[in-house]
Structure 1
């Protein structure tokens, strides 16, 4: 959305930023009319959402210009989604392509910019859940957090649908282009942009590293708990009961065929419709109906204009942006998935089911896996399986990705290791440890969310200084924090309140063993 000094464009603002830091005529007056000279974030539309339906499954379009004061005192709509056990948000509004900007109160220009891509499995999540004021103030950075299309609205494909399976990726690219055009108005430096994402957001960064349309739009990247960027995942290793998973990237021809099958099965199109009329029918299907198929469309597609090649082949071959990279995992990633989707639904892993899970996941190697992870070595069978899943489905793929990155560019690796971290999603009776998403409470505040102890709060400040130093300089090392060598030395930085320093990640997660396993 262009900010043009030749016409009056004003935004109503709130909470924790200095209007003067935005360097745009009229903003200070708007802030005063809103009740003060401080603001917390500004919500800015990056797509015209008024022509809904017809805009579905098309590239994001520029916002329609307006005159006068646009109310930006509350976050924009989340992308369409159904509430889940891990995300209690329902949204049916396709007018969702907005972004939030958080800037420190103190006046400044040329600040590093961090663009945050939220997680949520590709089906859920919104920018508004992440209050970035601590990150912005600690590191003196500008934080941009966008909403983007998810699931069936972001990764749907159908014969004749141009560049299907990449609409969420295209939305994020529109945000990055907006940052290049406009972030200087908010005190940010468009030549110093770091793309940061967690879980599904980190997976999308892998696509940006490969997509030609993203080249030059960001200059560093941080991938937090990315899931299986390069390879497949054995049965049950993601969630007990879930079969083996293919690579997280779908060939566009395969996606189109799958989309056609789903559309026919669900009656979204009339039989024997030609592609043009079928797409017209699909754009009239109610949001609620489309959302019933959301979990079937979470894999971005490759083979089109936006993502010509799968990141699983392009990255190992070195065909990606050679920029400084940071990546890592949490120490107990899979406890989140085992606790939430097995124990809490009354179907924990048991001594009886454990051998079956191992056999179905690892076939001829099952005996070796069972010997390496004996049940008597863990308090419960669920925790034994969670350790297998953490090591095989999270630590091994992340380590392989980090080593591939390090062969081509400067790369730093970390492990978030605070086993007393307050979980974002409570799992009563289940020892969560440093589970998936547990690091987020140290970077962001959440509405009605978790509280940190004094020691954890101090640690959060140190962790955020690492992140923002990397964003500013392409290297997390700083004199007031423990040294952090890059991963080419074999170093992994363990991050916890009681200790920050190197850890033997390979031994901790049995990665020499897993390198010989399926």
Structure 2
């Protein structure tokens, strides 16, 4: 099945890819020794793949809502030619997805160039999905591996209530999904060399929830030394959602959950299910836990615990983050997808004025003056521009400014407004460079056809991403020059080129609006 849809998830936004799993040549596949046992992968035309390698013990029974434990060693050779199951997630009626009730899901996937060599840079990808959906094996790393000569690892981690329930009194509560990611990074450090990777040169990257996770690891003490570069696509440390961002009447929402608020929600969630202790919750079925009415609210990482001691934006401001080179960016029309999903029928002119007034109160006149309806083809596109700049682009710029005082930052926006639509039905208005639209340029799928111009942009992006993984700078032979922040790079099908991203997204306005 080709890439079919980009989804909007209840607790945030999500870009979930559903590519085909290629037929694998299992006979006489390559065998690699990991620290838990031997694994047999498969050889494809230009790469070796190892799917479904356990990096931690199954978090089931008494291990539900506990920190990940080491994987259980096995004897003999374990076949790793099929992905493990996606972590437990509710069905998504919007996309017709059945969901998953698998809690034994802490698996990763390794793709390497076919020719044995090394050590190669390692790129560890954290998938998006609003912390409630998605799977690491949904992402085809073939072009990154073949064109960039790198090793790519994709990771499954606990989602929703299983990864982020912050029940009081439970050590690590609210961040088990982040701990899973740390366990995967530790697995990479121990085992990368066996796959031809360099454990001393690991790039952590992710999109959407994966980018927010990458930000968390920049500030998490437990992630120190586990990665050496970071790429954030559509997710920042200082992100929060303005009122009405996710639909009419949706509240302002902080991405990172304060511990007191998260604990209160967890207690209320448990009470709805007839439980007053974590032990009681451990006795419930996966399906019942997924069906709890408050379950979608259990999807935000909580700070104030050992994994994430403080709000990531606070940690950045105080200089408490790992000094690694960073690429940080977003798509040019990020929020158009969320507007298309959250507002049906499309926004009217009168509704637009009401939304601006409701969301920004005393600042509404300034916002309306900066985004006049006359400059947009529709009120939906005007509202999307406001939300893109307020929720995405300018928080990213603020993070860049803070990070750049102590490390090298490369800022970008993906600006191909002709990017192919990945949905099954036409959108209600042009979505431009929408949330997740850059993913097929890095992770190919036969169901998404790029034009020759877009193929050239894809080649440039893969060159930038893998060159950065190799050297800490995206620059290399044959690539347009990309200068560090405060410069920015616009990734467009007409060719990557420098751009003033702060001016493009009216950050002078948003820097003065809380």
Query: Kindly tell me: are residues 284 and 150 of structure 1, through their superposed partners in 2, closer, same or farther at Cα, counting changes over 3 Å?
Result: same
What is the match of residue 290 of structure 2?
Answer: 291
How far apart, CA to CA, are the structure 1 residues paired with 2:487 and 2:443? Answer: 27
* TM-score of the two chains, using structure 1 as the length reference: 0.89
What is the match of residue 491 of structure 2?
Answer: 495
TM alignment of 1:360-399, pairs within 5 A:
360-399=358-397
TM alignment of 1:213-362, pairs within 5 A:
213-227=222-236, 229-230=237-238, 232-246=240-254, 248-264=255-271, 266-269=272-275, 273=276, 278-292=277-291, 293-342=294-343, 346-362=344-360
Query: Kindly tell me: are residues 41 and 455 of structure 1, through their superposed partners in 2, closer, same or farther at Cα, counting changes over 3 Å?
Result: farther
Query: Kindly tell me: are residues 445 and 330 of structure 1, through their superposed partners in 2, closer, same or farther at Cα, counting changes over 3 Å?
Result: same
Task: Tell me, yes or no, if the aligned pair for 1:333 and 1:436 is still in contact at 8 Å.
Answer: yes
TM alignment of 1:52-451, pairs within 5 A:
52-84=60-92, 85=94, 88-227=97-236, 229-230=237-238, 232-246=240-254, 248-264=255-271, 266-269=272-275, 273=276, 278-292=277-291, 293-342=294-343, 346-426=344-424, 427-446=426-445, 449-451=447-449
How far apart, CA to CA, are the structure 2 residues paired with 1:356 and 1:35? Answer: 55
**How many Å apart are 1:373 and its aligned residue?**
1.2
Give the number of aligned pairs.
487
SS of the equivalent of 1:338 reads helix
What is the match of residue 8 of structure 2?
Answer: none
Task: Tell me, yes or no, if the aligned pair for 1:354 and 1:385 is still in contact at 8 Å.
Answer: yes
**How many Å apart are 1:120 and its aligned residue?**
0.7
How far apart, CA to CA, are the structure 1 residues paired with 2:47 and 2:300? Answer: 40
Query: Kindly tell me: are residues 380 and 104 of structure 1, through their superposed partners in 2, closer, same or farther at Cα, counting changes over 3 Å?
Result: same
Task: Tell me, yes or no, if the aligned pair for 2:464 and 2:474 is still in contact at 8 Å.
Answer: yes
Query: Kindly tell me: are residues 402 and 308 of structure 1, through their superposed partners in 2, closer, same or farther at Cα, counting changes over 3 Å?
Result: same
Task: Tell me, yes or no, if the aligned pair for 2:346 and 2:428 is still in contact at 8 Å.
Answer: no
Task: Tell me, yes or no, if the aligned pair for 1:15 and 1:41 is still in contact at 8 Å.
Answer: no
Residues 368-403 of structure 1, C-alpha deviation per residue, up to 9 Å, x if partnerless? 211221222211111111111111111111111111
SS of the equivalent of 1:383 reads helix
Task: Tell me, yes or no, if the aligned pair for 1:19 and 1:31 is still in contact at 8 Å.
Answer: yes
Query: Kindly tell me: are residues 24 and 233 of structure 1, through their superposed partners in 2, closer, same or farther at Cα, counting changes over 3 Å?
Result: closer
Task: Tell me, yes or no, if the aligned pair for 1:19 and 1:37 is still in contact at 8 Å.
Answer: no
How far apart, CA to CA, are the structure 2 residues paired with 1:86 and 1:475? Answer: 38
Structure 1 residues without counterparts, runs of 5 or longer = 1-12
Q: Which moved more, 1:126-135 or 1:252-261?
A: 252-261
What is the match of residue 13 of structure 2?
Answer: none
**How many Å apart are 1:47 and its aligned residue?**
2.3
Larger Rg over CA atoms: 1
**How many Å apart are 1:297 and its aligned residue?**
1.2
* TM-score of the two chains, using structure 2 as the length reference: 0.89
**How many Å apart are 1:40 and its aligned residue?**
3.0
Query: Kindly tell me: are residues 501 and 17 of structure 1, through their superposed partners in 2, closer, same or farther at Cα, counting changes over 3 Å?
Result: farther
Query: Kindly tell me: are residues 28 and 280 of structure 1, through their superposed partners in 2, closer, same or farther at Cα, counting changes over 3 Å?
Result: closer
Query: Kindly tell me: are residues 393 and 31 of structure 1, through their superposed partners in 2, closer, same or farther at Cα, counting changes over 3 Å?
Result: closer
Query: Kindly tell me: are residues 367 and 48 of structure 1, through their superposed partners in 2, closer, same or farther at Cα, counting changes over 3 Å?
Result: same
SS of the equivalent of 2:352 reads helix
Task: Tell me, yes or no, if the aligned pair for 1:21 and 1:109 is still in contact at 8 Å.
Answer: no
SS of the equivalent of 1:301 reads coil
2:499 is equivalent to residue 507 of structure 1: no
Task: Tell me, yes or no, if the aligned pair for 2:128 and 2:208 is still in contact at 8 Å.
Answer: yes
How far apart, CA to CA, are the structure 1 residues paired with 2:295 and 2:447? Answer: 27
Query: Kindly tell me: are residues 329 and 257 of structure 1, through their superposed partners in 2, closer, same or farther at Cα, counting changes over 3 Å?
Result: same
**How many Å apart are 1:30 and its aligned residue?**
5.4
How far apart, CA to CA, are the structure 2 residues paired with 1:464 and 1:17? Answer: 31
